[in-house]
Amino acid sequence: MRRLIPTLALLTAVSSPLPADAQPTPDTILHGGKIITVDDYFSIQQAVAISGERIAAVGTDADILTLAGPGTTFVDLDGRTMIPGLIDNHNHIIRATEYWPNEARLDGVSSRAEALARFRAKTDSLPADQWLMSLGGWTENQFEGDQSGFTLAELDEIAGERPAFIQSTYQHAFGNTAFFRALGIPLVARSANQLGSSPIANFVERDADGRVTGRINGEMPMFRIATTLLPEVPEASQINGIRETFTYLNSIGLTAVYDPAGGGIRPESYDRIWALAATEDLTLRVFHTLARGAIPRTPEEAEGLIEEIRAARPFQGNRTLDLIAMGENYYMPIRDSLAGPVDPAPEDLAVARNILVAAADGGWSVQTHIMNAATIGRFLDVVEDVNREFPMRQLRWTITHADLVDRTQIDRMRALGMNLQLRSISVLYEPQRVRLFEQHGDDALDIPPLRMIESSGIPWGLGTDGTKAAQINPFVSLWWAVTGLALNGERVLGQTLTREEALIAHTRSNAYLMFQEANIGAIRPGLLADLLVLDRDYLTVPENEIREILPIATLVGGKVVWGAL
């Protein structure tokens, strides 16, 4: 996967463009740049010709400029670097559109002071009746220096009379006085019968005098409840949120996302994004998995999912929006976490097999959330059994996260035609990461084993697991993969990649995992013109500046959707 076999057409188009009379007259020529193509040779070129939505030719200035016609628009890149649009292979972005207009994102923020400044800036931009939110994607551990939580007084000063709900990944949250009042939670309670009737009252932290501190504990159980207590999202608000979300992602360099559904997502969110795509051009390509509410926990609930799998059909969309897989979570007894593996009972493995048989029989790709080696091994036993009945090599089934996968399991996956999706979550130095270092010492630097996976040759790609569990800036992910550092400066990764390997993993490799290698992932003739013009050179800036790179222009299908040329 890392280096695909080049075709004669690619060799011809890149090294010496076709004769002028054999080429369509390009609409636009971008020239005078450093074009990092991420093609099969990782070649560096100077100019790109675009016809319609697609790239017509790539090569030297001298060769590409000869293709111009009377209507061609010329853009001088003035030496700037261009790369393919970046692709996140694991980003719960559809769910994020629900409250995006209310959110202060802390992607890449490395100081507590800057976080407070972002809360204040978002508050200043909101209508008076709107909540202030920051729904995950950060943790206090990512800050250099002061890593203390946010106080009730600080959030009261920033948000005033509007409720504020500030979520630290899936660990805990902070609220202001207006938030607790909105939920009917007393600010002072000296006994259990004074806590009020709110379903999250028991998670609210109080001091010795019974006063709320502003912090709400409880991890995932609390967040499952808290999600249901947030304000309703009117359709018009979410439609606006979709546009704002996609624009933000364009501004940080993303042009395509693989969305794996997730808990708490409202079914209407899918309806709204599909309806919007029918009436206007989206600025972000979204490929998603089969939507499902609560993860099935029993055989009876799994039967409902099997019915959905049989009733639906993948690949009925287009190159902008499509349903392409089932997963990532589809049966709770086989789902694990970094806390440790699971050992499903034989009857649960049989249920998982039934789900996978239905998927394979229907031509579904499957994305499976597993992290530990022992769980991966048990899961692969089931997959190998299914494969004997329904060969799945062409379905590109994927294990996502796979933080503790070993080489033997990778070899088994390769034999099945499976792939890996890895995430940059440890760039936050999140509490689970701290526990891994406490448990494993320096061996935790091999979680995930990026170098071993890259050297194995198995198809794999790099994503984030945003927007709640992790940050979503792809340049932060690239920086993490190259330097091995967390945002707070701690080393969290021992098996790092070269800049070239990391960029391939965030572009061309992800396109393959999403069945889109004929459309996106590189700068070569025939592919869609999803391009980034950067404010600095990804290949030559000091390593620590990689996380600061921003596009000065983002193009999707040849159109500028962010910035300007």
DSSP-derived secondary structure for 251-296: HTTEEEEEE---TT--HHHHHHHHHHHHHS--SSEEEEEPP-SSPP
The predicted structure's pLDDT at residue 266:
87
Identify any residues that bridge with 287 across adjacent strands, giving them in sequence order.
258, 322
Give, rounded to a whole angstrom, the gap between the first and last alpha carbons of the chain.
33
pLDDT at residue 313 tops 80: yes
Interval 182-203 mean pLDDT: 95
Using one digit for the tens of pLDDT, what is the confidence trace for 35-78?
A: 999 999 999 999 999 999 999 999 999 999 999 999 999 999 99
DSSP 420: E
For residues 120 and 225, what is the distance between their CA atoms, to the nearest angstrom? 27
The predicted structure's pLDDT at residue 13:
43
Using one digit for the tens of pLDDT, what is the confidence trace for 510-538?
A: 999 999 999 999 999 999 999 999 999 99
Per-residue pLDDT band for 21 (boundaries 50, 70, 90) equals: low
The predicted structure's pLDDT at residue 9:
36
For residues 74 and 500, what is the distance between their CA atoms, to the nearest angstrom? 29
pLDDT at residue 12 tops 90: no
Per-position b or e across 207-244, b if 16+ CB within 10 A of its CB: eeeeebebbbebeeebbbebbeebbebeeebbbebbbe
Is the CB of residue 99 less than 8 Å from the CB of residue 230? yes
Per-residue pLDDT band for 4 (boundaries 50, 70, 90) equals: very low
The predicted structure's pLDDT at residue 1:
34
The predicted structure's pLDDT at residue 437:
95
pLDDT at residue 80 tops 90: yes
> CB under 8 Å to 78, separation ≥6 — which residues?
32, 33
> Three-state SS for 187?
coil
For the chain, the C-alpha Rg in angstroms (whole number) is 24
For residues 327 and 365, what is the distance between their CA atoms, to the nearest angstrom? 9
pLDDT at residue 159 tops 90: yes
Q: Which amino acid is at 30?
A: L
The predicted structure's pLDDT at residue 263:
83
Is the CB of residue 538 less than 8 Å from the CB of residue 36? yes
Interval 364-378 mean pLDDT: 97
For residues 543 and 549, what is the distance between their CA atoms, to the nearest angstrom? 11
Identify any residues that bridge with 145 across adjacent strands, giving them in sequence order.
none
- CA dihedral (43, 46, 51, 56) in degrees, to 10, reads -40
List the one residue out of 61, 101, 431 whose CA is nearest residue 238: 101
Q: Which tokens hold the place of 19?
A: 């004769």
Helix 346-361 and helix 373-389, axial crossing angle in degrees, nearest 10:
50
- CA dihedral (201, 206, 209, 210) in degrees, to 10, reads 0
Higher pLDDT, 79 or 14: 79
Q: Which helix (H) or strand (E) holds 83?
A: strand 81-84
Classify residue 281 by burial, with Cβ atoms within 10 Å: 0-12, 13-18, 19+.
exposed
Using one digit for the tens of pLDDT, what is the confidence trace for 258-307?
A: 999 988 888 899 999 999 999 999 999 999 999 767 899 999 999 999 99
The predicted structure's pLDDT at residue 8:
34
What's the pTM value of the predicted model, to 2 decimals? 0.95
The predicted structure's pLDDT at residue 264:
82
φ, ψ dihedrals at 421, nearest 5°: -115, 120
List the one residue out of 184, 324, 257 whose CA is nearest residue 507: 257
Q: Are strands 559-563 and 551-556 parallel, antiparallel or unpaired?
A: antiparallel
Q: Identify the residue whose tokens are 């040759």.
A: 457
Q: Which amino acid is at 221?
A: P
Q: In the chain, what are the domains?
A: 99-229 (3.10.310.70), 296-518 (3.20.20.140)
List the one residue out of 96, 160, 184, 90 whose CA is nearest residue 134: 96
Please give the biggest Cα pair distance in the chain: 84
Per-residue pLDDT band for 23 (boundaries 50, 70, 90) equals: low
Q: Which helix (H) or strand (E) holds 175?
A: strand 172-175
Q: Which tokens hold the place of 170?
A: 């899936």
The predicted structure's pLDDT at residue 117:
98
List the one residue out of 507, 493, 505, 489 whose CA is nearest residue 449: 493
